[in-house]
Amino acid sequence: MDGIDGRVRNAVDVWLRWLPRWQIGTARPRTRICRRCTGSPVAAAAGFGPDVPHPVQHALIGRMSAIVEDAVDDYTAKNLPLLQRELERAAAHKRRAGYQPADGLSPEFQGLDVDPQPEPGEPFLFTLGELAGTGASAPEPREPLSEEAKAALRHEIELSDECARSTGTAVCLALLDHRERIAEAVERLVEPQIAALVSDMFRGLDGPDEGPRGGLF
Ligand SMILES: [Zn+2]
């Protein structure tokens, strides 16, 4: 696959330019597990430890996933006509499916919840999730596929999965070359924020003016 090294290098560059704008959140962390990041080999290839906050990891993993998805789209368009037709049909169906709040987001936000966690006792007026599908129109009816067509489609899906696996491996190998840059940026831009947050939390727990004998003397 030509150009994977270059694409990975560019994506890491973009992530490094984005990282200085990232600020540690004081909001409650998400409670649902992220399907994109959990167990991702990209996180291991990038050298992310468990203490690197999820949004920081998610932004890089999303950009790496986009490289794999683009490569698979390319391969499918060139080599897998049956699957390509199914994907075009699905895309047309989606266009008729009305408003999709998660569409068109930049990679830093793709795959995350579109709405923040509600606070107990303070319901939202509306959520973006509830608006999904507004403006939808009915899907077009389709002819059922023959057994041969189904088997041929399954074969093309296997080929596309194989392309995703081999591209994913190439992306991870290419990413290994950037571990040092990534580690340096995390150490410089992320770790001080974690340290500051932790020391704030400790200050809140036992401030110097709020000791047990405060006010007695
Ligand atoms: Zn994630």
What is the total count of domains within the chain?
1
Q: Note the pLDDT tens digit of each residue in 164-176.
A: 999 999 999 999 9
Nearest alpha carbon to residue 156 among 84, 216, 90 = 84
Q: Which residues contact 77 (CB under 8 A, 6 or more apart)?
A: 84
HSE, side-chain direction, 13 A CA sphere, residue 7:
19
Nearest alpha carbon to residue 48 among 6, 31, 7, 40 = 40
Q: How many Å lie between the centroid of ligand 1 and the Cα of residue 146? A: 39
Q: How many Å lie between the centroid of ligand 1 and the Cα of residue 26? A: 18
Where b means 16+ CB within 10 Å and e means fewer, 51-83 reads ebbbbbbbbbbbbbbebbeebbeebbeeebebb
pLDDT at 32: 77
Q: How many Å lie between the centroid of ligand 1 and the Cα of residue 38? A: 7
CA distance 111 to 39: 15
Q: First CA to last CA across the chain, in angstroms?
A: 74
Q: How many Å lie between the centroid of ligand 1 and the Cα of residue 59? A: 8
In the structure, what pLDDT confidence band is assigned to residue 148 with cuts at 50, 70 and 90? very high
Is there a domain that residue 158 lies in? yes
Q: Give the mean model confidence (pLDDT) for residues 67-90.
A: 95
Q: Which residues contact 68 (CB under 8 A, 6 or more apart)?
A: 164, 167, 168, 171
Residue of 54 and 215 predicted with greater confidence: 54
Q: Give the mean model confidence (pLDDT) for residues 121-145.
A: 72
In the structure, what pLDDT confidence band is assigned to residue 199 with cuts at 50, 70 and 90? confident
Q: How many Å lie between the centroid of ligand 1 and the Cα of residue 48? A: 13
Q: How many Å lie between the centroid of ligand 1 and the Cα of residue 89? A: 28
pLDDT at 1: 45
In the structure, what pLDDT confidence band is assigned to residue 71 with cuts at 50, 70 and 90? very high
In the structure, what pLDDT confidence band is assigned to residue 211 with cuts at 50, 70 and 90? very low
Is there a domain that residue 196 lies in? no
Is there a domain that residue 58 lies in? yes
Instruction: Give residue 9's identity as a one-letter amino acid code.
Output: R
Is there a domain that residue 64 lies in? yes
Q: Note the pLDDT tens digit of each residue in 95-111.
A: 887 777 777 777 777 77
Is there a domain that residue 121 lies in? no
Residue of 121 and 164 predicted with greater confidence: 164
Q: Is the pLDDT of residue 212 over 60?
A: no
Is there a domain that residue 27 lies in? no
Nearest alpha carbon to residue 3 among 167, 216, 184 = 167
Residue-range definition of the domain harbouring residue 183:
1-16+42-114+145-190
Nearest alpha carbon to residue 41 among 167, 186, 159 = 167
Residue of 205 and 38 predicted with greater confidence: 38
CA distance 6 to 182: 16
CB 110 within 8 A of CB 102: yes
In the structure, what pLDDT confidence band is assigned to residue 153 with cuts at 50, 70 and 90? very high
Is there a domain that residue 201 lies in? no
Q: How many Å lie between the centroid of ligand 1 and the Cα of residue 40? A: 9
Q: How many Å lie between the centroid of ligand 1 and the Cα of residue 208? A: 38
Mean pLDDT value across the chain: 85
Is there a domain that residue 210 lies in? no
